[in-house]
């Protein structure tokens, strides 16, 4: 193993590709920020108990994928595998739900960790932008979140994604269905692990990717037939609001998602250019989660979108994001005095809000101009001894190639004018 290799299942983000990731985070969070969601940040690790209870003891995330550790002081911690449990924990700790302003709408962005088998689009360290709306049961809230994610993907220029939608029922109707499903599943020819899953989390069996299992599931009881009237009405309202907003979706009865805490609305965004790791984001309603982690009853809904897979989706659709050049002006000093003077101009430009960079290291004109080109700067400022003696700098427009002498004292103002 090379000394300079990132750990298995991880990768570094370096320029220029890293700019895409920043733009993706920005594009996903912009619609949230415009819709009353406040930014929240929580630690990268939590007590392991929070995820065991909040994500579910029977989920792959907790049983197989969680990075757990014991601190020197004996605390049992886990690197966060997802955001919802942490955000809810933090909201409860800060009593945000008691401020008399429900729903509490929050968004977050960060790193998540899962010990998975690394493959394209599946990493051990990945990043998500997520949103949670805590404390309100209202189909318009479920619809809002789906619409905002749709808006985010569209603003990035993505088109080949689909929205899968389902309802998982609530604490009235889900248990009845669960039992009917268990009775059906117990008669099937399944391996030991799957048989255990029938007893702990039978809905997850529906999610099994294996063809021989899927074949046996054809006649499984359908959750749709068990939904209570309240859940049915709620789901119809979510569907109607999405339709009215012009957001297309597909009803997907098999969509159960990996987490124990979902109730009613569940959804997933899949992209058709990503092969088997097709889910770019997902979420749903989790009315029981707060109580599961020891809080009051707080019906809530949220989603998390994967930044890594969204970046891959952009590549799959050959979307070129319109990323402005980071540097507008590049200064090339020739000689000691010019170095001092132009460094002063660069500082002045930066303070005026103009992105400027400088040829450091006292390189010659040729090498420095190469760097100026590479920086993407629209203008370069060049100055040598003779220019300074005349009180001017050479201002070159890198697009037209035109060059003119500008009085040193006016250089910054002239650039500000030209750059608008
Ligand atoms: P999958 O079915 O692909 O395992 P998931 O249901 O585990 O996804 P969620 O927990 O809903 O995923 O996380 C939301 C999003 O985060 C996913 O849609 C995906 O874009 C991203 N994501 C999840 N796990 C990974 C991972 N290991 N590597 C990269 N992105 C991931
Ligand atoms: Mg997963």
The finding on whether 103 has its CB within 6 A of some atom of ligand 1 is no
Answer whether 71's CB lies under 8 Å from 77's CB: yes
Closest CA to 83 of 127, 118, 49, 120: 127
Local confidence pLDDT in tens for the 420 residues of the chain: 678 999 999 999 999 999 999 999 999 999 999 999 999 999 999 999 999 988 887 788 888 999 999 999 999 999 999 999 999 999 999 999 999 899 999 999 999 999 999 999 999 999 999 999 999 999 999 999 999 999 999 999 999 999 999 999 998 998 899 999 999 999 999 999 999 989 988 888 988 889 999 999 999 999 999 999 999 999 999 999 999 999 999 999 888 876 666 899 999 999 999 998 999 999 999 999 999 999 999 999 999 999 999 999 999 999 999 887 789 999 999 999 999 999 999 999 999 999 999 999 988 899 999 999 999 999 999 999 999 999 999 999 999 999 999 999 999 999 999 998
pTM for the full model? 0.93
The finding on whether 137 has its CB within 6 A of some atom of ligand 1 is no
Answer whether 303's CB lies under 8 Å from 283's CB: yes
Highest CATH level, class, for 329-418: alpha beta
- Using CA atoms, how far residue 295 sits from 90, 96, 370, in Å, is 11, 12, 60
Q: In what order do the strands lie in the sheet with 76-79?
A: 45-47, 76-79, 68-70
Return the axis-axis angle of helices 411-418 and 336-351, rounded to nearest 10°: 50
Element (H, E) at 347: helix 336-351
Q: For atom 25 of ligand 1, which residue has the closest CA?
A: 122
Highest CATH level, class, for 17-173+227-316: alpha beta
Q: For residue 347, give both structure tokens.
A: 């500082």
Task: Output the CA 351–ligand 2 centroid distance in Å.
Answer: 46
Closest ligand (CA of 110): 1
Q: HSE (CB half, 13 Å, CA atoms) of 96?
A: 22
Closest ligand (CA of 114): 1
Domain boundaries, the chain: 17-173+227-316, 329-418
The finding on whether 81 has its CB within 6 A of some atom of ligand 1 is no
Query: H helices of 68-138, where?
Result: 84-93
């Amino acid at each position: 193993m090379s000394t300079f290799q990132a750990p298995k299942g991880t990768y570094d983000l370096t320029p220029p590709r890293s700019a895409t990731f920043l733009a993706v985070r920005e594009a996903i969070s912009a619609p949230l920020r415009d819709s009353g969601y406040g930014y929240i940040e929580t630690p990268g690790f939590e007590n392991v108990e929070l995820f065991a209870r909040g994500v579910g003891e029977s989920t792959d995330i907790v049983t197989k994928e969680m990075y757990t550790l014991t601190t020197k002081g004996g605390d049992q911690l886990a690197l966060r595998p997802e955001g919802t449990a942490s955000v809810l924990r933090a909201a409860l700790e800060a009593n945000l739900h008691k401020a008399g302003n429900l729903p509490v709408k929050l968004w977050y962005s960060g790193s998540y960790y899962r010990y998975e088998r690394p493959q394209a689009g599946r990493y051990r360290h990945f990043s998500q932008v997520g949103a949670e709306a805590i404390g309100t049961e209202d189909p318009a809230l479920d619809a809002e979140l789906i619409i905002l994610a749709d808006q985010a993907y569209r603003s990035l220029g993505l088109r080949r994604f689909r929205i899968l939608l389902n309802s998982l029922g609530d604490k009235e109707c889900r248990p009845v269905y669960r039992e009917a499903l268990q009775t059906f599943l117990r008669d099937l020819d399944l391996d030991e692990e799957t048989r255990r899953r029938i007893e702990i989390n039978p809905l997850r069996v529906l999610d099994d990717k294996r063809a021989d299992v899927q074949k046996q599931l054809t006649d499984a009881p359908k959750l749709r037939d068990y939904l209570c009237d309240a859940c049915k009405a709620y789901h119809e309202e979510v569907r109607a609001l999405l339709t009215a907003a012009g957001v297309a979706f597909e009803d997907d009865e098999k969509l159960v998602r990996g987490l124990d805490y979902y109730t009613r609305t569940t959804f997933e965004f899949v992209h058709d250019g990503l092969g088997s790791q097709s889910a770019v984001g997902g979420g749903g309603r989790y009315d029981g989660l707060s109580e599961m982690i020891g809080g009051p009853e707080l019906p809530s809904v949220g989603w998390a979108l994967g930044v890594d897979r969204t970046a891959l989706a952009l590549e799959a659709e050959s979307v070129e994001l319109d990323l402005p050049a980071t540097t507008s002006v590049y200064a090339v000093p020739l000689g000691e005095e010019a170095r001092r003077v132009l460094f002063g101009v660069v500082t002045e430009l930066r303070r005026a809000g103009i992105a400027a960079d400088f040829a450091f290291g006292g390189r010659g004109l040729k090498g420095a101009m190469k760097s100026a080109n590479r920086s993407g700067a629209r203008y370069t400022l060049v100055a040598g001894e003779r220019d300074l003696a005349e009180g001017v700098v050479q201002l070159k427009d890198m697009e037209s190639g035109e060059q003119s002498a500008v009085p040193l004292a006016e250089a910054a103002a002239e650039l500000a004018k030209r750059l608008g």
